[in-house]
Structures are given as C-alpha cells and as structure tokens.
C-alpha cells in the first residue's frame, strides 16, 4: 500500500498496514475520517478537515492514482489552449502541508456496520466518518450499440486521462473534409467536461487544420444549458461546420455500428470518420457498494451532505443528488467545505456554520470568447435550493468575453491550489 504524510516524514516511519484496521477510538486515538476519491470533492474535504482541525482528526485519503488529471479544462487541452501536463496535479501538498495520509489503492467495498473500507490490497481502514466522492461511472448500455469495448474507437473522454488524449489524436488525425459525430449525454451528467464546449474546441481544431470538416451532434435532449450562447458562437466562429440535431428531430439513436462508424436514427444514418459518444451516467461504484444510493445517484441531507441512508457517510460531487446544483467541480469543491465543517463539528465539537453553496461553469467557444453560468444556493430541509443566478448574454462585446475567459483561467488556478496545496 503506497501512502505518505507529514506525520510519516516526521516520525521517520510508516504506519503498519495492520494498524489501519484497528478502530480509531478503541485506544483513545484521534477520531478518524476516511475520504474515498481524490478529485474536487474528496481532495478538498480531506484538506479542510485536516487543516481546520489542527491535528485533532486523523484524515486518510484513498485514491488509486498518484497524479490527478482534472476533467475541468480537459476541453481546453482538446482545443490546444492547454498542455496536457497543466491539468495534472499530485497530492504532495495535502500530505506535507496538512498531514493527510495518502493511500494509493482502490477502495473496493464498505462495511457500514463495522465502519471499515476494504482495499484492493486486502487491507482495510477503519473510520468514524466516511466521505465518498467517487465521481461517475458510465452506463455504456444506455446507447444502443455502444459498449466499454467501443470506447477505444469512439472515446467518451468523460474521465480525464488517456481517453482525452485518444480523442485529441483522433480529432487531429481525421481525414480532410470528414465528419465528426458527437453524442452528448442525457441529463443529469457530469459537467465539466461540457459536451458543447467540447464541440466548440473540436471545431476550433478543425477551423485551423481541417476547415471543410463537419460536426454532427446527435443529442438525446431537446435543449441544453447555454444553448443560445453556443448557437450564436458557432454561427459566428464556425459557420456551416456544426449541425446540432435534437432528439425530437432525429428520433433517437437506434443503433451504433462501431465497426463501420455508422449511427442509425429515425432521421438518417450518419457515417462518422471520428466520434465521441458519452453515455448516461451514475454514481461511482463504491457509492453503490456502500448502499447510500437510490437508483443511479445518492440522496443527501442538504445542510451537511450526509447520505440519507447512513449518517456516518457523506457523499459529495457528481455522485450526490444535490437538486439545483450541477455536477461540476466547482459544486463538489463547495459541497466539500460544507461537509468538512459538519464533520469537524461532529467529531470535535467545533462550531458548525450555516451552509452556503456556489457554482460557476465557464465555457470557451473560441479564442478569447468565454461564456459562463452560475448561481448561489442555500440548504433547506428538503433540498439545496437556488437563491440567485447569472448567465452571459448574447451579443456581448469581445472585451467582456475575453475577460470571462481570463476569469476562468484564474478560477482554475484558484481551485486547483485550493484542492492540492
């Protein structure tokens, strides 16, 4: 089991694997929090529980990867606005600056009764409070003809990593004048990476190196977020290149023939030279295993992010049912701070503040043409409810759109610093 922390550096020794399975309160030890998932929700929660408890809580973050590549801004990598390395981050800061114990293993299952997380190595970690922030799993079967095996030929690229690199290579290698088919996901879905920003970034690539290429968007929805803004931008920057077809118009995807790259709909059969298919989604498997889901997602207590099914488990980010809040990195980061505050209060008696949530989603349509939508939220007894919101307007001048894009760059640097340092 690979793990590192400030404590282990100071003591000059690692914790014996067997000790991880000892209940944390049995010998008067510190209360123990285990966090599963090292993304915007999990990394933030681990940091703030450790930092703000000032050593009063033992925090362990279980994350299989030693380097985390963000889904947010992966579209900018597709469009050549970011280098791939710039969206990768490590966990050194959490360990060294805040004493978070890093365990680079797969969390396989949760024993709720015993309060243990079972790892791929066969070891287990006990917890007093458990945070689950596993992101999403894909329902490959939700698109007729698509499968896990097909993702190498028609990448979804909805989990950052090699899939995103594969998609970029396929876009850049597509034949001149060819057709790219994009199948966005149905609601609800993780965003970012936003499907319509993805269309924009692929169009940006084609405009530079394959200007006669076409993009066909076979949407399972009849409308989408920021639709008017994207349509305006596509007409301005990529006239005649992008054809968005609603579910009502194409009648649904009847079948995908992966071998021939053909998409059969009631409207027509579309032949692709390259494609990205993003199926429906559900909470990451470990949330299902822990029994905190209801169907595909996990109901939570709005004021704390506790799972409704288990008061000792908190569910953050994409996996949760947060009602008005989208499944974004910004949302997960905001929810993590609410959960961290509640966990500290529960374990140490510290003050628990009135929860407040926020989200903003930026999208890049073309060079220096940024748009955004966002809102503030409060917790009621029944749900996380939107209290105010904003959205970019059609026809904004280029200076404002450039400022919006630059704002998104600042946000990315800010949130990744907040998560990992």
Q: What is the pLDDT of residues 138-159, one digit of tens each?
A: 999 999 999 999 999 999 999 9
Look at residue 246 in the predicted model and tell me its pLDDT.
98
Specify the pLDDT at position 161: 82
Which of 250, 279, 308 is the C-terminal boundary of a domain?
279
- Residue 226 CA to residue 212 CA, distance in Å, equals 26
Residues 11 and 119 reside in one and the same domain: yes
Q: How confident is the model at residue 7 (pLDDT cuts 50, 70, 90)?
A: very low
How many Å is the maximal CA-CA distance in the chain? 70
Whether residue 202 contacts residue 215, with contact meaning beta carbons closer than 8 Å, is answered with yes
Q: 230 is written with which tokens? A: 């994207």
Partner residues linked to 388 by β-bridges: 376
**Residue 15 binned pLDDT confidence (cut-offs 50, 70, 90):** very low
1 lies in a domain? no
Model pTM?
Answer: 0.93
* Average pLDDT of the segment spanning 335-357: 97
pLDDT number for residue 160: 77
Together in a domain, 58 and 128 = yes
Instruction: Work out the pLDDT band at 25, boundaries 50, 70, 90.
Output: very low
Domain residue limits at 201: 140-279
Mean pLDDT of 248-265: 98
* Percent of the chain residues past pLDDT 90, beyond the cut: 92
Q: Is the pLDDT of residue 26 over 70?
A: no
Query: Would residue 408 count as lying in a domain?
Result: no
- Phi, psi torsion values for 101, nearest 5 degrees: -80, 120
CB neighbour burial string for 197-215, b if at least 16 within 10 angstroms, e if fewer: bbbbbbbbbbeeebeebbb
**Over 70: is that where the pLDDT of 126 sits?**
yes
* Residues linked to residue 371 through DSSP beta bridges, in sequence order: 363
Give yes or no: residues 32 and 63 share one domain. yes
Residues 161 and 196 in one domain: yes
| Buried/exposed 75-99: b ≥16 CB within 10 Å, e otherwise | bbbbbebbeeeebebebebbbeebb
Where is pLDDT greater, at 19 or 383? Answer: 383
Among 22, 14, 34, 5, smallest CA distance to 347 is for: 34
Q: Is residue 209 part of a domain?
A: yes
Mean pLDDT (the chain, rounded): 93
Q: Please say whether the beta carbons of 313 and 24 come within 8 A.
A: no
CATH number at residue 262: 3.50.50.60
Specify the residue for token string 């021939």.
260
pLDDT of residue 10: 29
> Tens digits of per-residue pLDDT, 161-196?
899 999 999 999 999 999 999 999 999 999 999 999
pLDDT value for 29: 86
pLDDT at 357: 98
């Amino acid at each position: 089991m690979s793990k590192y922390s400030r404590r282990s550096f100071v003591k000059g020794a690692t914790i014996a694997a067997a000790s991880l399975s000892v209940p944390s309160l049995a010998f008067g030890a510190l209360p123990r929090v285990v966090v599963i998932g090292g993304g915007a929700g999990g990394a933030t929660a681990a940091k703030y529980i450790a930092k703000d408890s000032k050593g009063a809580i033992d925090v362990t973050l279980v994350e299989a990867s030693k380097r985390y590549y963000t889904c947010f801004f992966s579209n900018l990598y597709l469009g050549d606005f970011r280098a791939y390395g710039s969206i990768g981050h490590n966990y050194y800061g959490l360990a060294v600056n805040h004493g978070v114990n890093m365990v680079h293993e797969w969390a396989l299952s949760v024993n709720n009764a015993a309060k243990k997380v079972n790892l791929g190595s066969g070891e287990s970690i006990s917890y007093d409070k458990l945070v689950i922030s596993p992101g999403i799993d894909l329902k490959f079967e939700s698109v007729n003809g698509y499968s896990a095996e097909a993702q190498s030929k028609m990448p979804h690229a909805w989990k950052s990593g090699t899939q995103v690199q594969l998609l970029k290579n396929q876009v850049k290698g597509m034949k001149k004048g060819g057709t790219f088919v994009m199948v966005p996901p149905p609601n609800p879905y993780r965003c970012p990476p936003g499907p319509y920003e993805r269309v924009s970034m692929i169009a940006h690539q084609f405009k530079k190196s394959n200007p006669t290429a076409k993009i066909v968007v076979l949407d399972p929805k009849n409308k989408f977020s920021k639709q008017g803004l994207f349509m305006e931008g596509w007409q301005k920057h990529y006239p005649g290149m992008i054809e968005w077809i609603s579910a009502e118009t194409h009648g649904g995807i009847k079948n995908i023939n992966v071998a021939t790259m053909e998409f059969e709909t009631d409207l027509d059969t579309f032949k692709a030279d390259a494609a990205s298919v993003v199926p429906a989604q559900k909470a990451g498997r470990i949330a299902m295993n822990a029994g905190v889901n209801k169907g595909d997602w996990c109901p939570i207590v709005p004021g704390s992010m506790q799972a409704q099914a288990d008061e000792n488990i908190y569910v953050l980010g994409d996996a949760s049912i947060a009602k008005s809040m989208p499944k974004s990195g910004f949302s997960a980061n905001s929810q993590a701070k609410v959960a961290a505050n509640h966990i500290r209060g529960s374990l140490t008696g510290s003050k628990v503040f009135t929860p407040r949530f926020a989200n903003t989603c930026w999208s890049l349509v073309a060079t220096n043409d940024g748009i955004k939508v966002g809102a503030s939220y409060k917790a009621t007894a029944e749900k996380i409810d939107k209290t105010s919101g904003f959205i970019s307007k059609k026809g904004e001048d280029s200076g404002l759109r450039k400022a919006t894009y630059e704002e998104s760059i600042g946000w990315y640097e800010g949130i990744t610093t907040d998560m990992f340092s």
